Amino acid sequence: MTPVALIVLDLGASAAQDLAVVDPATTVLPATDLAATRGDGIFETVVTVAGVPQASEAHLDRFARSARMLDLPEPDRALWRRAVTTAAAHLREHPRGAVKYVMSRGDEAGTGVPTGWALAFVPAARAEIPAPLDVVTLDRGYRSDVAQTSPWLLQGAKTLSYAVNMAAMREARRRDAQDVIFLSIDGFVLEGPNSTVIARFGDRFVTPPVELGILPGTTQHDAFAALHRDGRQTQVRPLTAAELTEASALWLCSSTRGAAPIAHLDGRTVRVDADATAIMNHALDDRKE
């Protein structure tokens, strides 16, 4: 990533000086911020096209949902929207950029006011149609019902505690792959470390439900809308690991990559559906909000 601008939010302020634009290389966090000491916070990454954030409201919805799951104060939606817009404006000259925004529980030596920032950056370049991926399935260790039985496990919240997701990506590279699909121990397809799974069966496109303890996929949501407009059937339902091997095509969806087709799953060749891939990604690139 290439950082372009950093917006620091003053979440304790009621004044007009609640956003400050600083050089993204500035040190802004003390060593006692709970983002850094406990991964105790939430984030979203929104893509920008020529400085315009895409699916911004869906990301703000999910940010608020994550805050509730972590018992964080409800984000001031207007303030965060303004922070994202302000950061995105610094990316006007970049056809494709991204804004990552973060709220932590604050400084553990401080007054209990959350910490907030929004970073504008240019992600690693990607092709207009994402390159096919080699993917491995990995055990996520959890049953598919933990979001219901054990909400303190925070499954389905987009938290800063991503060490497991990072370790899973390293395991994928160790297996000569580039990405991961997590499976529950009771045999259900969950999600990627930073993506949502779409599987095609005949004319139907399927993605797993959030009740399995996964994130609501903002990119998957808009990809499904595009498929629907094109007359395809879409469905949200639990998907077994066995069904993955029967899908006629598979994708991983994420903000910064769009809908990336899977070429190999656990070493087995998967057909790349160039037609559906193009439909989804053209629509994703055309989003305005």
Footprint (CB under 8 A) of a second copy, residues 208-227: none
* 108 lies in the binding site for a second copy (CB under 8 A): yes
C-beta closer to a second copy: residue 187 or 272: 187
- Burial (CB < 10 A; 0-12, 13-18, 19+), residue 117, is buried
Least gap, CB of 120 to a second copy (angstroms): 11
Contact 289, 54 (CB under 8 A): yes
Residues 40-79 that bind a second copy (CB under 8 A): 40-41, 43, 70-71
CB contact at 8 A, 179 and 243? no
Q: Does 284 bind a second copy (CB under 8 A)?
A: no
Size of the site for a second copy (CB under 8 A): 62
User: Is residue 138 part of the contact set for a second copy (CB under 8 A)?
Assistant: yes
Q: Please tell me whether residue 144 binds a second copy under the rule CB under 8 A.
A: no
- Which residue's CB is nearer to a second copy, number 175 or number 204? 175
Q: What residue has token string 């609501």?
A: 216
Candidate ranges 33-41, 201-209, 262-270, 274-282; the one touching a second copy (CB under 8 A): 33-41
Nearest to 134 by CA among 191, 187, 172, 188: 172
Q: What distance in Å separates the CA atoms of residue 147 and residue 145, rounded to the nearest whole number?
A: 6
Residue 127 binds a second copy, judged by CB under 8 A = no
Site membership for a second copy, residue 93 (CB under 8 A): no
3-state secondary structure 84-144: HHHHHHCCCCCCEEEEEEEEECCECCCCCCCEEEEEEEECCCCCCCCCCEEEEEEECCCCC
Among 25-33, 84-92, 198-206, 236-244, the segment contacting a second copy (CB under 8 A) = 25-33
Query: Is residue 98 close enough to count as binding a second copy by CB under 8 A?
Result: no
Residue of the chain from 121, 205, 224, 251 that contacts a second copy (CB under 8 A): 121
Q: CB of 44 within 8 A of CB of 61? A: no
Tell which residue, 228, 231, 229, 284, has the closest CA to residue 253.
284
DSSP lists the bridge partners of residue 44 as 101
Q: Contact 108/37 with Cβ under 8 angstroms?
A: yes
Helix, strand or coil, per DSSP, at residue 86: helix
Task: Give the per-residue contact string, 145-174, with a second copy (x = CB under 8 A; - = no).
Answer: -x--xxxxxxx-x-xxxxxxxxxx-xx---
Q: What is the spatial distance between Cα 217 and Cα 74, in angstroms, rounded to a whole number?
A: 21
Q: Which residue from 9, 11, 19, 35 is in contact with a second copy, where contact means CB under 8 A?
A: 35
Long-range CB contacts for residues 16-21, cutoff 8 Å, separation at least 24: 18/79, 19/79, 19/82, 19/83, 19/86, 21/86, 21/90
Tokens of 286: 């055309």
Task: Select 154 or 263, whichever has its Cβ closest to a second copy.
Answer: 154
Nearer to a second copy, 180 or 247 (CB): 180
Task: Single out the residue of 38, 81, 82, 264 in contact with a second copy (rule: CB under 8 A).
Answer: 38
Least separation in angstroms between residue 139's CB and a second copy is 4
Q: By CB under 8 A, tell whether 31 contacts a second copy.
A: yes
Residues near a second copy (CB under 8 A): 1-3, 6, 8, 24-33, 35-41, 43, 70-71, 100, 102, 104-105, 108-109, 117, 119, 121, 138-143, 146, 149-155, 157, 159-168, 170-171, 185
